Chains A and B, each alone.
Chain A
């Protein structure tokens, strides 16, 4: 009897406790698609930042957040951080559950991947007068289906760097065409008994093939990724020209597939003394105050027969997922972080370039390397955007182009396979009627 009473009492206590707890959770169960922000406090903004340094994260916490909170009483900002390694799983989880940060940091090509799942921010941002100061290519990156999905934050132009002091002919003009570029690489590559000793060109991954660079060369050969009807244009002469150029360049560095490449490089490739030219992100080159820059020339990608030179511009941007309830507040924060003063401060802390052209004056006046880089970006820049079904395209390009570059597939078969597979991907993703 005593035991039963005890049990009864226990259940009663638990039920009472549950009754107390239910109101807190009931808000969520009533509207499952509402964001976490609604569950805790309608005036809380969670911001997810990926791949930025500890200093940058601290700048957000200690400088930007208190300033925004002071301007918006009752609003609380929180930072969530993560790496690119877990980025896909994190974002997929938030979108599946409809619960996650209010603002998500995205890389350049993600507008096409997540575009449908991001909020249309036109009504909050389109009338903002400062928008005209943003680099058009950057705004293009944050646009999906004709509508802004967030705001560009930082940019990273990706030109080709040349070590003129290592070049066989230091006074020669920089290559401007595929043919000249190929001749430059051949002239400046040294292959010894143990393999490559000096590399005429190195790409961003060091493997003499990069999917993003391949797209860049299609553009600089005068081609596009898509035909007017939306189908893929991998069967175009420009694609063939880009592929052939990349193949010939690989052979200029590695005469055969069984030629060992360069030994591992300590530090940055540009300062190694073993790489004469290459494409590197700004975080993988010596600081612009380093004397080495006196012997470094910067140029755009070479062009094909019917194309024009260009520089790929990669934009990191802040997006607002569709599930966010208080989009207006998210928009307010985007305007705040995107203001001229904050853009300049952020670029100093993060080591990237602001996407506002009116924020460049100071940088250009004080740093000749950045001055040259930004001048080239303005003249030749093309943003890495409108890459449809990018998550599926990258492995496809990697697979097919690698087969061609390593003599395992003909040029014709590579183009045909790329075209066929990408068309079916575009169709499956609703890009083709």
Chain B
């Protein structure tokens, strides 16, 4: 019996070797043939053959173990495939469910994506700061520095291990855990420390309570929905409106439009294209974004991007048109409202097909976009512009937003949020303001300035008034709940923990509460920032000492040396750490798997954990594959964006 096993193993091993050898020779032969076709000499052909032959094992392995499964998973993503059941082709349904954010799994995926972005947006900067700080500390000639470096690097090896993560669970225990006991002693040592400690608790709980209400729980949050776009408008328009107009500002306008345009396109693809029929508002915003990107790229003489943008935008509109028709069973009258909106949105994008690329063409495009947008507004969305919406805008503009809501919870939950204006309009507005400013600045500098001042004032009033209104909105919920003697479920976490400033015995709830679970995970990640530290340390070693000496001679202080010399000189390392950090944060899995509890499972669930759960625990291979492809596309898009906006990176060093 044992001999039979041995023989089987030997035959399998020999067969594998033979397979690798034959495929390698075939790959070599193909390479030789291709080189021969291109007319290269006999020597070059031989070189190609042997080169490809030795790369053959890796190439065949790549196709069998990477490319093959990848393509199969792409196929599965378009199917309803539950393990053990027949595979059924369902087209884009999996993507539609996940991207629409509706239904149990749409909502769960949306929450998981928000959590992953949280890890990226908050975790990566903190991790970068920690690793850079550590690297700067270790970049000194101190006795025993190598031991320190080893100690600081050690967590990288230990951090992902289940034993260490379980140790963190003990350290983060709410009552009697090492972290809380230490923080409490620190706070008890001096009254100011106590205040700082409680302030930290208050800030973390407020921010996370708000985040849970806004992003994950999907509660109606009323005016806050447009406080943030208004603040964003202030931040973006402000620097354009004040001071001298120069190339830097023109560039900022360009970047603003590009980023917001991409965001709008992303939103449209994720929410609009996959949910039929498409809201005309989305269609118009998309068209405006495309026009904005085209106008500003044309000003940069980037005709390739302009043409690509035009073709992509028109293609997406054409796809939307067909999908809308399909949703209406190919009866144009049934979906007329949406089809007309799509056709109108396509008009400004079609303008450049007639005549030369010129400033006039782009002005025509902008005018067409604005005029046709108004038509969509007035004709295609009946009832949305009357009284309510326009009236609301006026109220906000005139600081009359502190309206008294009816004392009825149903109204607050259901009716009021629908009275509020879609935040998308404000993103579109910011985009239009920046595009017009970019266009006006050469010929009509004065008008451009007035226009920007006006826009700035508008966004400022909007931000202030909507914030005031938000307070009333929340207070009304609390009042109604109090009057009814029932708990206030609206925006519950925010209220529970932020009604009062924390008492002096309050402690963070780290791993047992959804307000603290994400910060806890980020803290554990920061503890293992040694990998980034190593990269920064190598980069810091490469900064020439002479630059600091020259700066010192000129009287530069420490901060100036850091921001003017160190940071630019290590920018390639910084860029690398950011790219890798963002990718790693979007793939967060092991920590979630180990440290989650029933109370924190939802708040910790990352996109990678979601696809694991759907694929391997619930055996829904089709939807799990779709989730993994969405994650791939997001990671690739974010990485491409980082490379696209990486002019701040200096490789001269």
A contact residues around B173 at 8 Å (CB): 263-264
Distance in Å from the Cβ of A151 to the closest Cβ of chain B? 21
- Determine if B650 is an interface residue (Cβ-Cβ < 8 Å): no
- Determine if A210 is an interface residue (Cβ-Cβ < 8 Å): yes
- Determine if A89 is an interface residue (Cβ-Cβ < 8 Å): yes
Distance in Å from the Cβ of B249 to the closest Cβ of chain A? 45
- Determine if B441 is an interface residue (Cβ-Cβ < 8 Å): no
- Determine if A67 is an interface residue (Cβ-Cβ < 8 Å): no
- Determine if B619 is an interface residue (Cβ-Cβ < 8 Å): yes
- Determine if B17 is an interface residue (Cβ-Cβ < 8 Å): yes
| A40 lies within 8 A of B8 (CB) | yes
Of the candidates A21, A95, A260, A391, which one forms a contact with B618 in the assembled complex, judged by CB atoms under 8 Å apart?
Answer: A391
| A391 lies within 8 A of B619 (CB) | yes
- Determine if A147 is an interface residue (Cβ-Cβ < 8 Å): no
- B465-492 contact mask (Cβ, 8 Å, vs A): 1 or 0: 0000000000000000000001101001
Tell me, in angstroms, the Cα distance from A96 to B486 when the chains sit together. Answer: 51
| B598 lies within 8 A of A398 (CB) | yes
- A250-282 contact mask (Cβ, 8 Å, vs B): 1 or 0: 000000111011111000000000000000000
- Determine if B315 is an interface residue (Cβ-Cβ < 8 Å): no
Of the candidates B85, B175, B496, which one forms a contact with A260 in the assembled complex, judged by CB atoms under 8 Å apart?
Answer: B175
- A388-406 contact mask (Cβ, 8 Å, vs B): 1 or 0: 0101100110110010001
| A88 lies within 8 A of B616 (CB) | yes
- B1-36 contact mask (Cβ, 8 Å, vs A): 1 or 0: 100110010011011011101100100000000000
B contact residues around A113 at 8 Å (CB): 619
Binds A, one of B257-265, B507-515, B544-552, B578-586: B507-515
- Determine if B597 is an interface residue (Cβ-Cβ < 8 Å): yes
- A45-75 contact mask (Cβ, 8 Å, vs B): 1 or 0: 0000000000000000000000000000000
Interface residues of B in 588-605 (CB under 8 A from A): 593, 597-599, 601-602
- Determine if A146 is an interface residue (Cβ-Cβ < 8 Å): no
Interface residues of A in 347-371 (CB under 8 A from B): none
Of the candidates B12, B25, B489, B512, which one forms a contact with A25 in the assembled complex, judged by CB atoms under 8 Å apart?
Answer: B12
A contact residues around B17 at 8 Å (CB): 17
| A410 lies within 8 A of B602 (CB) | no
B contact residues around A406 at 8 Å (CB): 492-493, 514, 599
| A76 lies within 8 A of B601 (CB) | no
Tell me, in angstroms, the Cα distance from A117 to B83 when the chains sit together. Answer: 8
- Determine if A14 is an interface residue (Cβ-Cβ < 8 Å): yes
- Determine if A306 is an interface residue (Cβ-Cβ < 8 Å): no
- Determine if B246 is an interface residue (Cβ-Cβ < 8 Å): no
| A21 lies within 8 A of B598 (CB) | no
Tell me, in angstroms, the Cα distance from A73 to B285 when the chains sit together. Answer: 76
| A194 lies within 8 A of B175 (CB) | yes
B contact residues around A395 at 8 Å (CB): 108, 601, 613
B contact residues around A40 at 8 Å (CB): 5, 8
Task: Specify the chain A residue showing the minimal Cβ separation from B217.
Answer: A408
- Determine if B615 is an interface residue (Cβ-Cβ < 8 Å): yes
B contact residues around A410 at 8 Å (CB): 486-487, 489
Q: How large is the interface on B (under 10, 10 to 19, 20 to 34, 35 or more residues)?
A: 35 or more
B contact residues around A210 at 8 Å (CB): 598
- Determine if A92 is an interface residue (Cβ-Cβ < 8 Å): yes
- A96-116 contact mask (Cβ, 8 Å, vs B): 1 or 0: 100000000000000001101
Distance in Å from the Cβ of B155 to the closest Cβ of chain A? 22
| A424 lies within 8 A of B509 (CB) | no
Distance in Å from the Cβ of A110 to the closest Cβ of chain B? 11
| B83 lies within 8 A of A24 (CB) | no
| B489 lies within 8 A of A409 (CB) | yes
A contact residues around B175 at 8 Å (CB): 194-196, 260-263
Task: Specify the chain B residue showing the minimal Cβ separation from A404.
Answer: B489
CB within 8 Å for A258 and B8 given contacts A196-B175, A205-B597, A410-B489? no
| B14 lies within 8 A of A76 (CB) | no
CB within 8 Å for A76 and B1 given contacts A18-B22, A116-B84, A207-B512? yes
Of the candidates A41, A117, A262, A425, which one forms a contact with B84 in the assembled complex, judged by CB atoms under 8 Å apart?
Answer: A117
| B497 lies within 8 A of A258 (CB) | yes
- Determine if B94 is an interface residue (Cβ-Cβ < 8 Å): no
Task: Specify the chain A residue showing the minimal Cβ separation from B172.
Answer: A264
- Determine if A407 is an interface residue (Cβ-Cβ < 8 Å): yes
A contact residues around B18 at 8 Å (CB): 14-15, 17-18, 21
A contact residues around B174 at 8 Å (CB): 195, 260-261
Of the candidates A20, A23, A207, which one forms a contact with B598 in the assembled complex, judged by CB atoms under 8 Å apart?
Answer: A207
CB within 8 Å for A20 and B11 given contacts A207-B599, A210-B598, A408-B217? yes
A contact residues around B176 at 8 Å (CB): 194, 263-264
- B70-86 contact mask (Cβ, 8 Å, vs A): 1 or 0: 00000000000011110
CB within 8 Å for A392 and B505 given contacts A25-B12, A263-B175? no
B contact residues around A95 at 8 Å (CB): 83-84
- Determine if A245 is an interface residue (Cβ-Cβ < 8 Å): no
- Determine if A293 is an interface residue (Cβ-Cβ < 8 Å): no
| B599 lies within 8 A of A402 (CB) | yes
Tell me, in angstroms, the Cα distance from A264 to B12 when the chains sit together. Answer: 52
B contact residues around A341 at 8 Å (CB): none
| A21 lies within 8 A of B12 (CB) | yes
Task: Specify the chain B residue showing the minimal Cβ separation from A394.
Answer: B617
Task: Specify the chain B residue showing the minimal Cβ separation from A3.
Answer: B46
CB within 8 Å for A21 and B597 given contacts A88-B617, A258-B509? no
A contact residues around B486 at 8 Å (CB): 410
Tell me, in angstroms, the Cα distance from A396 to B598 when the chains sit together. Answer: 11
A contact residues around B22 at 8 Å (CB): 11, 14-15, 18
Most chain B CB within a 10 A radius of its CB, from A21, A85, A96, A209: A21
CB within 8 Å for A24 and B615 given contacts A207-B599, A424-B103, A425-B104? no
| B12 lies within 8 A of A24 (CB) | yes
What are 28 A-B residue pairs whose CB atoms fall within 8 Å in the complex? A14-B22, A15-B18, A15-B22, A24-B15, A88-B616, A88-B617, A95-B83, A116-B85, A195-B175, A195-B507, A205-B597, A207-B597, A256-B496, A257-B496, A258-B496, A258-B509, A261-B174, A262-B175, A263-B176, A264-B170, A396-B104, A398-B601, A399-B108, A402-B601, A407-B487, A407-B489, A409-B492, A410-B486
Cβ-closest 8 pairs across A and B: A21-B15, A263-B176, A18-B18, A260-B175, A408-B492, A117-B84, A24-B11, A195-B175
Give A residues with C-beta under 8 Å from B: 10-11, 14-15, 17-18, 20-25, 40-41, 76, 85, 88-89, 92, 95-96, 113-114, 116-117, 193-196, 205, 207, 209-211, 256-258, 260-264, 389, 391-392, 395-396, 398-399, 402, 406-410, 413, 421, 424-425, 429
Q: A14-B18, A18-B22, A410-B487 are in contact. List 7 more A-B contacts (CB 8 A).
A: A17-B18, A195-B175, A395-B613, A402-B602, A408-B217, A408-B492, A421-B104
